Amino acid sequence: MPRNVRYYDVPGRLVAELPPAPRGHRYVRVAGDILLIAIGTNMVVDALQDIFY
């Protein structure tokens, strides 16, 4: 993910419904999507699109 992309924490109630993120990864929100990214590299591993409208 480019460095200039702003991302935000995913609301806790929604994180509770997702599978646990693997070690070294975290869920973030970008626009209406939830991304699973690798911590440190910000490489996108998986995406759920159009969750937030």
Residue-level pLDDT at 48? 92
Q: By CB neighbour count within 10 A (0-12 exposed, 13-18 middle, 19+ buried), where does 21 fall? A: middle
pLDDT tens digits along 7-50: 999 988 998 999 999 999 999 999 999 999 999 999 999 999 98
**pTM exceeding the 0.85 threshold for the entire prediction:** yes
Residue-level pLDDT at 29? 95
Is residue 53 scored above 80 in pLDDT? Answer: no
- What are the E-state strand segments in the chain? 8-9, 25-30, 33-38, 44-48
